[in-house]
Homo-oligomer: A and B are copies of this chain.
Amino acid sequence: MRAIMNHRSIRKYKSDPIDKSILNDILLAGTRASTTGNMQVYSIVVTTDQEIKKQLAPCHFNQGMVTQAPVVLTFCADFNRFNKWCLHRKATPGYDNFLSFLTAAIDALLVAQNVCIAAEDQGLGICYLGTTTYTAEKIIEILKLPKGVVPVTTVVVGYPYETPDLTDRLPLASIIHQEVYQDYSEGDIDQMYSAKEALPLTQKLLQENNKETLAQIFTDNRYTKKDNVAFSKSLLKVLEQQGFMNNEM
């Protein structure tokens, strides 16, 4: 609970390596996560080699922590191992479809969060790289991911070289719905976002970006429709290429 409540994303790391037994423990903690039907349809690629990390860096928009952190973990939806098992056991797998991709992605993500909490519990710092789904095609090439395998998120792990403040969150009531979904009025939205909009960080961002509202920084600069559409196309192509879009009998 302490590890969960103290989580902050770490973007600067010491060069200290992670002890093999500690890394082993946190990965083992990953495997205790629930998975669909206990199929464990995920894999974790553990990259520590500086040369491979350098190749991965552009996939993560050259954020310094990819080469700086001692360990880069790429969490993958993986039906390849399960399919191979089925084929070697006189069984015909039917997991080349969209549902199976999502099933495997869910497995991989629950495992990832277990690994992160276990890492933080050991005094390590972590940062998720959302860029993974944007550049999955290139990551597949670098990490030699076969058909049936798609990277869904990446986590860098290492000893923190910074101690950032806790990041703001919307009030709990904003993200909780009692019994059924209660849609938001304009007044609700004003109330829920008022604290975030009043933060000194927000004021700084508005000035730096020369924008009128924080929302515009998201839509115009950080997460634009143009990028989202381009990444959607490339991700759907990746699902096809990796064998997850055969949605007919």
Docked Cα-Cα span, A80 to B175, in Å, equals 11
Quick one: copies of this chain in the complex? 2
**Given the interface contacts A117-B114, A177-B46, does A106 sit within 8 Å of B134 by beta carbon?**
no
**Contact indicator per residue, chain A 69-97, by CB within 8 Å of chain B (1) or not (0):** 00000001010111011101111111101
> Is the pair A106, B130 in contact by a Cβ cutoff of 8 Å?
yes
Residues of B within 8 A of A210 (CB): none
Docked Cα-Cα span, A42 to B1, in Å, equals 21
Residues of B within 8 A of A94 (CB): 219, 223-226, 228-229
**Given the interface contacts A109-B106, A189-B81, A213-B89, does A42 sit within 8 Å of B175 by beta carbon?**
yes
> Is the pair B85, A4 in contact by a Cβ cutoff of 8 Å?
no
- Count of A residues near B, CB < 8 Å? 118
Q: Give A49-68 interface residues, CB cut-off 8 Å to B.
A: 49, 52
> Is the pair B232, A99 in contact by a Cβ cutoff of 8 Å?
yes
**Given the interface contacts A100-B228, A144-B180, A181-B144, does A9 sit within 8 Å of B27 by beta carbon?**
no
Residues of B within 8 A of A170 (CB): 31, 40
Residues of B within 8 A of A113 (CB): 33, 109-110, 113-114
A183 CB-CB contact with B under 8 Å: yes
A220 CB-CB contact with B under 8 Å: yes
A112 CB-CB contact with B under 8 Å: yes
> Is the pair A4, B29 in contact by a Cβ cutoff of 8 Å?
yes
Which of B37, B48, B102 contacts A179 (CB under 8 A)? B48
A163 CB-CB contact with B under 8 Å: no
Docked Cα-Cα span, A225 to B50, in Å, equals 41
Docked Cα-Cα span, A118 to B3, in Å, equals 10
Residues of B within 8 A of A46 (CB): 176-179
Which of B43, B133, B232 contacts A177 (CB under 8 A)? B43
Q: Which 3 A-B pairs have the closest CB atoms?
A: A94-B225, A91-B215, A89-B215
